[in-house]
Amino acid sequence: MSENGISRRAFIKAAGIGGAGLAVAAAGSTWNSYHEGQSAFSMQGQEHRQGHVYFDRVPFEVDQVPTSSWKVLGQDLPNGQSVNGYHRVDMRWYYGERFKTTGHAVSGSSPAIGYDPSKVDCLPNTWPSNGVAALDPLYQRYYELYPMMLDVDKEYKYDWLPQLIERFKSSIDSRADFNQNEGLIAMARSEAQRAVPVSSVTTPPEQNDWSGVSERRAVFDTPELASQLVKRMAADLGATFVGVTPLNKGWVAWSHAALGGLGAGTGGRGFGLNTPIKIPEWWDNAILVSGTMSWDVNAGDPNYGDSWTGYNISSQIAQQMVKFLKHLGYPARWHSPFGGYDMPIPGIGAECGMGQIGRTSNCIAPDFGGNVRPAVITTSLPMAADKPIDFNLSEFCSRCKLCAEVCPTQCISYANEPDFEIYGLRRFNTNLAKCRDGWNLGAGPMGCRACVSVCPWTKKNTWVHRFVREVLSHDPTGVSQNVAIWAERTLYPKHYNEELNPPNYKGVYEPPKWIKTDEYIGSFIKTPIGVK
C-alpha cells in the first residue's frame, strides 16, 4: 500500500495492465522513444543540424542544368580565358577604368553610410564623348564581345546616374535620421550580427590551400561515403543546404580588380590584381554550403534587413569545413561572403542541385527561395556529385515578375524569357551597376534584398507553403502558378519600387514589430560614459 492508499499492483490492475504487459509496454515505449529521438524534428530548433531537408529534390533531378538557367552560346576565347564556351569573368570589366561610379568608387565603405559624400560627384570619367573607339583596348574588346552591354551602360551613365546623385544628395539627412531613430534597432542588430570576425583569404592557393594539411591522408571507401560525411559534417556545423559538384572551371574568374568585386580588399586573394588567375589542378570539386538570413527581418527589406546573418553562417561553416578537410589530408580553400571569392557562386548552386537560376540571376532554391547566402569550398577530395534539378522555376519566373516590379532601382529584366547574351551565355539580365546603387541609396543596416523578400518561393516551412511548393513543382499546366502569383499579389500587402526609396523608407512587407524602434524606445538621453 502506498502513502496515498493505492498499491502499485492495484494501479496496474486499474490500468488493465498485467506485469508481463507492463514490461512489454515499457520496452515498446523505450524503443519508440529512442527512435523518435533520432528524428530531426525532435531536435527543437536544431533540425537542420541533423541533415534534415524538407524538400525532396530527387524527383526533380536532371542530368544537365536546364537551359532556362543559362544557355551556352559563346566560343572559347584564347589564352584560357574561356572553358567550354563559358567566358571567365574578368573583374577589370566591372571595377577597373570602365566605370568609376559613386557606388563602385567607394566599394567596401560602411553599409550604414553608403556612398562617400565627398565622392558623390565622380561621374564616369573614362567614357569619352566620341564613344567606344577612344576607350582602352580592353574595353573596346568588351563591347565587341558583348554589344548588348553598350546600350545598358549608356543608359546608366546618361539617364540613371545624374538623377541618382541628385537623389542621394537630397536624402543624406533623412537617411541619417532614419538610421538613428526608426531604424536604430535594425542597425543595432546588424552590428551584433557581424561582431564575430571571419578571416579573408590573402595568399595564393599553393600556399593557402595546403597550409595545415595533414601529412596523413584519409582514403574513403567510396566517393559516395565521402560525400555523405561532408554533408553530415556541414549540416552539424549549421548549414541548411549542402551540395557537391565537380568544379566548372568556366566559373573561375579570369582576374581580380582593385576596386572591389570577387576579391575585394584582399589584394586579389593572393592571385594579385589585374593578372590572370591560374586555376590550381587540385580544384577538382566544389562543396556549396549555405545558411539563411533572418526570415522576419528580411520581410522589411530594404530598410530594416541585412545579410549579415547569412554571411556569418556560410563564411564560418566554409572556414570550418576547410579545417575539417585539411585534417583529413586534402587541400581546401573557402570562397565566402566575408572571405572573398575567386568565382561567382550562382552557377555552382544550380549545378549542385540547390536550385535554378531565376529572373534575378541568382540561384533560387525550392525550399528557401532566394533566402540563401552560399559559400563554396574547393578541394581535391573525390566525392559523388549531386545532380541539378528542374522544379518548374523557369515557367514560374516567366509569369511572375514580382522581383522586377518591386525593385527600387528597376534593374531587373521584365523579359518573358532569358534574352541577354553575355560571357558566352544567354540568361536574364540584371543591371549590376544599378543594383549596387540601390544598396547604397536606401537607409538601414545593409543594402537591399527586396527581390529576395518578395519572391513567392521565399516562404517559411509551414504546411501550406510546403503544399504549394509541391503543387507548383509538379504542375506542368501553369494553372497553379497563376493561382499562386495571384495569391501573392492579393493576400500579401506589399510596397513597390519608389516606396522603398528615400524619403519613404518602407519595407517590401511591414517589418516585424520587434525590429521597429518606436515599439520599444520613447526617447534618448546622453550616455553617462564611465558612470553606469
Contact criterion met (CB below 8 Å) for 514 and 188: no
Three-state DSSP state, 425: strand
Confidence of residue 39 (pLDDT cuts 50, 70, 90): low
Maximum average pLDDT range among 133-142, 195-204, 286-295: 286-295
**Using CA atoms, how far apart are residues 121 and 105, in angstroms rounded to an integer?**
11
User: What's the pTM?
Assistant: 0.86
Q: What are phi and psi of 132, to 5 degrees?
A: -65, -35
Confidence of residue 91 (pLDDT cuts 50, 70, 90): confident
**Using CA atoms, how far apart are residues 240 and 236, in angstroms rounded to an integer?**
9
* pLDDT greater than 90 at residue 124: no
* pLDDT greater than 60 at residue 230: yes
**DSSP string for residues in 75-137:** PPPTTTTEETTEE--BTHHHHSSS---HHHHTTTS-TTT-S-GGGTT----SS-TT-GGGS-H
Contact criterion met (CB below 8 Å) for 165 and 158: no
CA 244 to chain centre: 17
Contact criterion met (CB below 8 Å) for 336 and 487: no
* pLDDT greater than 70 at residue 227: yes
Confidence of residue 113 (pLDDT cuts 50, 70, 90): very low
- The rounded mean pLDDT for the chain is 83
The pLDDT tens digits of the residues spanning 403-442 come to: 999 999 999 999 999 999 999 999 999 998 888 888 878 8
Residue, of 267 and 151, whose pLDDT is higher: 151
**Using CA atoms, how far apart are residues 356 and 472, in angstroms rounded to an integer?**
14
**DSSP string for residues in 22-35:** HHHHHHHHHHHHHH
Q: Give the mean pLDDT of 23-35.
A: 47
| Strand residues in 176-277 grouped as ranges (E) | 241-246
Confidence of residue 129 (pLDDT cuts 50, 70, 90): low
Residue, of 223 and 527, whose pLDDT is higher: 223
**Using CA atoms, how far apart are residues 460 and 450, in angstroms rounded to an integer?**
16
The pLDDT tens digits of the residues spanning 479-510 come to: 999 999 999 999 889 999 999 998 999 999 99
- Quote the cell numbers at residue 356: 535554378
Q: At what angle do helices 172-180 and 184-193 cross, to 10 degrees?
A: 80
Least confident of 11-15, 62-66, 184-188, 237-241: 11-15
Contact criterion met (CB below 8 Å) for 62 and 68: no
The DSSP H or E segment spanning 346 is helix 346-351
* pLDDT greater than 70 at residue 260: no
- Quote the cell numbers at residue 272: 594579385
Confidence of residue 123 (pLDDT cuts 50, 70, 90): very low
Q: What is the DSSP letter of 398?
A: H
| Torsion region of 18: left, alpha or beta (phi above 0 gives left; psi -120 to 50 gives alpha) | beta
Smallest CA-to-CA distance from 260 within 98, 79, 87, 128 is with 98
The predicted pLDDT at position 111 comes to 37
Contact criterion met (CB below 8 Å) for 458 and 363: no
**Using CA atoms, how far apart are residues 506 and 520, in angstroms rounded to an integer?**
19
The predicted pLDDT at position 193 comes to 80
Residue extents of the structural domains in the chain: 8-38, 50-532
**Using CA atoms, how far apart are residues 506 and 304, in angstroms rounded to an integer?**
9
| Torsion region of 388: left, alpha or beta (phi above 0 gives left; psi -120 to 50 gives alpha) | beta
Confidence of residue 4 (pLDDT cuts 50, 70, 90): very low
